[in-house]
Amino acid sequence: MNDFFFLNENSEQHFNGIFSVSTEFLCITDVRGKIMKSNQVWETKLGYLTPELIDKNLIDLVHPNDVANLILAFKKLSTEKKNLSLASRLLSTDGSYRFVTWQFQWVDGLIYSCAKDLTELYYAKKDAESAEFSRNQLLSLLTTEIHEPLENLSLFLQLISKARSISDQTICLENIRLSSKFLENLINGILVIDKRNQTSHDVTSFNFHNTVEDAIIPLIASAKRHNITIDLAIDPKIPPNVLGDAQRLKQIISYLILNAIKCLEQGKISIEVTPENTSKAVFKIYFNVKTAGIPSLKSVTDPFFSNDSNGGATENNLSFVLELVKTLVETMNGKLSATRDNEEGYEFSFHILLLRDDIHTTKSDSNPSRRVLPMYNKNIRFKEEELLAIEQIGNDQAKSHDKISPEKRQRILVVDDSLANTQLLTQTLIENYEILVANSGEEALAIVQQVPAPDLILLDLSMPDMSGYEVCKQIQLEERTMAIPIIFLTTLSDTENEVYGLPSGAMDFISKPFDLPSVAEKIKNQLALKYYREILSITADTDALTQIANRRRFEEMLVIEIRKAKRNNTPLSVIRIDIDYFKSYNNTYGHFEGDDCLREVANVFKKTLKRAGDLVARWEGEEFTCLLPDTNLKGASHVAEKIRKAILNLRIPHQSSPGEKVITISLGVATGTTSYENSGEDDSFNTLLDHAQSALTKSKQSGRNQVSVYKK
């Protein structure tokens, strides 16, 4: 299309030639849209004879819903005098519509137009989406987890007819409500088992004690039928009101207790809940769930662990249920551990991260837990230094989490090919947010690459040039944009959304026609969740002492870069680094000097690795790693030697070193490529760290203060 405009301005002969041979809709109009010239494609694809089109207005040939967009485009062209892209539907003489994407160009008072026909592509995508949806509808039938809650619901319905007093009926009705919500939570929880699909969860204020009890109450009837008692104890130091995802927490507790009931013929399930330091802005809550009693003889399979050759319970043989619970816990920034004793039963420990809610906590709040436990802590806590960044935003907790600083308004990108929809959403949101608008998928992808990127995207599913699913997929392929929350705008039903939409990466859905209060609430929740994720990432990805990436971040980026290297057929290199004789340095100068040394060394690493894609991380102790994308073995060796010399030139005294009397480092370099894959060798990417460690060991054995490379 760009060639068309270029040739038009430079050669009338070329221009007429393109008009006669182009397979796209070409025309010239005045500033009001009146057609002055068109090509033969209008007749072959739409049925209009060329003489019929002359003096006809282009606006009359598009779908009524696209008229406003086209008028707005002509106004922009006449005032800004530049090129413009737009998607619309063109009317055929038989009454049908073709889906096209336009490019308009202002030239000397006229508008030159070129439209690419995307109709076949549009319907092909629609058919593929429909087929995928039909296949995925079977997902809800892949589990038997809803059997027990359905029985509970039926039981409460029977009990309400036998209740003699209004009080008893009220209790039954409340249990029916909780059981219904419980069933909904179970079904929703199943959708997150695919780890590639980290579905959204809302950050809201909720009563912690009530939420935990609400997750257990619907299972009381099942427990009694199995002669099982459920003992809940919540430490009083846990604030009654917290910020987090109440529904996700209910899912975690419900799945554990539901399956714990299945594994007992009779006995007891104990749930103990204790906090870490709740004076922090972000704190951990620890759950310990134990079963004790007579194992169920009816259960053929273990509800928590798959069978392995040794009959043991390990993280490698988790059942579907426990794998699901583990995934749910991880979505709340936590970790799950599970053990089984053939005589004593099961024990599960997990922690989640919650935020202090200073707004809704009052002195009148009371702890409904019936039994108080002493404080205990079985899990590794955050180090004090790692919480410094969070403590700095502690004062922000005194403000409502949905308020936005007037100095920096959050940016929302609205992507919809309907002008009416974009105008309605813009008018609704403009008071609180900076609004960006795109009328096509390609335009949206271009805006997302801008700096700063949007904080949230409202994305229409059905667009002629590129579906919302495809746009979402492209955004999530890029590391810089993959964390932007996306809410789909759709006319599909909720069931279709959850089964097909969520695996594509949507955080939530907004149905058309819009319920504007619901739209505002969903946007507020997703922006709040994004805000708190960014806060948590400070402690999750950064080493507190050296302020460089930590091991978790390195391992995360290694997976991403390996995937890129394989896709692009480019090399990927790793450098493993050890500070020589650092233990004796600590013994000689003390740990405070040792920490200063680590910080100074890490700072040199950061300054030496100057490319945007390079990453240096603290592995543990005095060990560091460097990740060098698109770097061959020779280049990585050069970088390693540069680092070695830079550390040597610091001249940090180390009198207890057997070698140089200053701090030195040993380095091991390894490079992964795709050159071995066709020859049957092991994938060199998957063994990068091991190969770099082998090279590092060689450097140490050869006298230290040197670089060694791994060669296959």
Please give the residue that has the higher pLDDT: either 297 or 405.
297
Are the beta carbons of 526 and 506 closer than 8 angstroms? no
- For the cut 50, the answer to whether the pLDDT of residue 253 exceeds it is yes
Please check whether residues 497 and 517 belong to one and the same domain.
yes
More confident residue, 123 or 700: 700
Measured at the alpha carbon of residue 547, what is the angle toward residues 545 and 550, in degrees to the nearest 5? 85
Can you tell me the distance from the alpha carbon of 406 to that of 157, in angstroms, rounded to the nearest whole number? Answer: 52
Q: Are 373 and 450 contained in the same domain?
A: no
Predicted pLDDT at 458: 92
Question: Quick one: CA torsion of 175, 180, 184, 189, rounded to 10 degrees?
Answer: 30
* Residue 608: both structure tokens together: 């030496």
699: nearest Cα among 690, 709, 689: 709
Same domain, 162 and 112: no
Q: How does 677-712 read in b/e, with b if 16+ C-beta sit within 10 Å?
A: eeeeeeebbebbbebbbebbebbeeeebbbbbbbee
Select the more confidently predicted residue: 311 or 648.
648
Give the range of the structural domain holding residue 623, as residue numbers without chain letter: 551-709
**363 and 247 belong to one structural domain:** yes
The answer on 482 and 566 residing in a single domain is no
DSSP bridge partners of 677: none
* Of the candidates 279, 282, 288, 276, the residue with the CA atom closest to the CA atom of residue 380: 276
Query: Is there a domain that residue 83 lies in?
Result: yes
pLDDT digits (tens, 9 = 90+) for 120-170: 888 877 777 655 554 444 343 344 445 555 555 665 566 666 555 665 566
Whether residue 684 sits in one domain with residue 580: yes
| Residue whose pair of structure tokens reads 């995207």 in the numeric block | 457
Distance CA 469, CA 455 (A): 19
Q: Which span out of 506-520, 526-540, 698-712 was modeled with the highest average pLDDT?
A: 698-712
What is the model's pLDDT at position 184? Answer: 62
Is residue 365's pLDDT more than 50? no
Per-residue model confidence (pLDDT) at position 5: 46
pLDDT at site 533: 67
Identify whether residues 530 and 566 lie together within a single domain. Answer: no
Whether residue 366 sits in one domain with residue 325: yes
Check residue 164 and give its pLDDT: 57
Residue at 291 is within a domain: yes
Q: Which residue has the tokens 């991403």?
A: 560
Which DSSP string do the residues of 471-535 spell out, in sequence order?
HHHHHHHSTTTTTS-EEEEESS-HHHIIIIIGGGT-SEEEESSP-HHHHHHHHHHHHHHHHHHHH
- Structural domain total, the chain: 4
Domain termination site, one of 509, 541, 573: 541
pLDDT, residue 654, reads 92
Higher-scoring residue by pLDDT: 148, 711? 711
Asked if 355 and 251 sit in the same domain, the reply is yes
Tell me which residue of 141, 207, 147, 219 sits closest to 178, measured CA to CA: 219
The answer as to whether 366 is a domain residue is yes
**In angstroms, rounded to a whole number, what is the distance separating the alpha carbons of residues 458 and 438?**
10
Q: Which of 54-63, 191-200, 265-274 has the lowest mean pLDDT?
A: 191-200
CATH number of domain containing 309: 3.30.565.10
Q: Answer yes or no: is 404 within a domain.
A: no
Whether residue 462 is predicted with pLDDT greater than 70 in this model: the reply is yes
Q: Which two tokens stand for residue 82?
A: 């530049």
Task: Establish if 600 belongs to a structural domain.
Answer: yes
Pairing of strands 264-275, 84-91: unpaired
Q: How far apart are CA 456 and CA 426, in angstroms?
A: 14
> Which domain-ending residue is among 496, 519, 541?
541
Domain boundary among 394, 428, 461: 394
645 vs 660: CA distance, rounded Å: 13
Identify whether the C-beta of residue 304 lies closer than 8 Å to the C-beta of residue 290.
Answer: no
CATH number for position 21: 3.30.450.20
Rounded to whole angstroms, the Cα distance separating 576 from 599 reads 17
- How are beta strands 110-117 and 486-490 bridged, if at all? unpaired
- 667 pLDDT tier (thresholds 50, 70, 90): very high
Q: ∠ CA 379-380-385 to the nearest 5 degrees?
A: 145
Q: 499 and 562 share a domain?
A: no
Q: Is residue 289 part of a domain?
A: yes
Beta pairing, strands 665-672 & 707-709: parallel
CA–CA dist 452, 438 (Å, integer): 16
**Mean pLDDT lowest for which of 12-16, 62-66, 655-659?**
12-16
Say if residues 227 and 181 touch (Cβ distance below 8 Å): no
- Whichever domain contains 624, its CATH number is 3.30.70.270
pTM: 0.35
Identity of residue 235? D
Q: Bridge-partner residues for 578, per DSSP?
A: 623, 666
In contact, 324 and 366? CB cutoff 8 Å: no
Q: Which of 69-78, 284-293, 337-346, 458-467 has the lowest mean pLDDT?
A: 337-346
Cα separation of 222 and 213, whole Å? 15
Strands (E), 228-362: 228-234, 241-244, 264-275, 282-295, 335-341, 345-356
Please report, rounded to a whole number, the percentage of residues in the chain having pLDDT higher than 90: 22
- Cα–Cα distance between 136 and 199 in angstroms, integer? 16
Residues 309 and 385 in one domain: yes
Banded pLDDT at 175 (limits 50, 70, 90): low
Q: Tell me the pLDDT of the chain averaged across its residues.
A: 77
Q: Find out whether 69 and 102 touch, Cβ atoms under 8 Å.
A: no
The 10 Å CB-count burial string (b at 16+, else e) for 65-88 is ebeebbeebbeebeeeeeebbbbb
Residue 57 backbone dihedrals phi, psi, to 5 degrees? -90, 130
* 128 within some domain: no
Inside any domain, residue 35: yes
> How confident is the model at residue 543, as a pLDDT?
83
CA dihedral 395, 399, 400, 402 (to 10 degrees): -70
Least confident range of 105-109, 294-298, 449-453, 507-511 = 294-298
Domain co-membership, 234 together with 324: yes
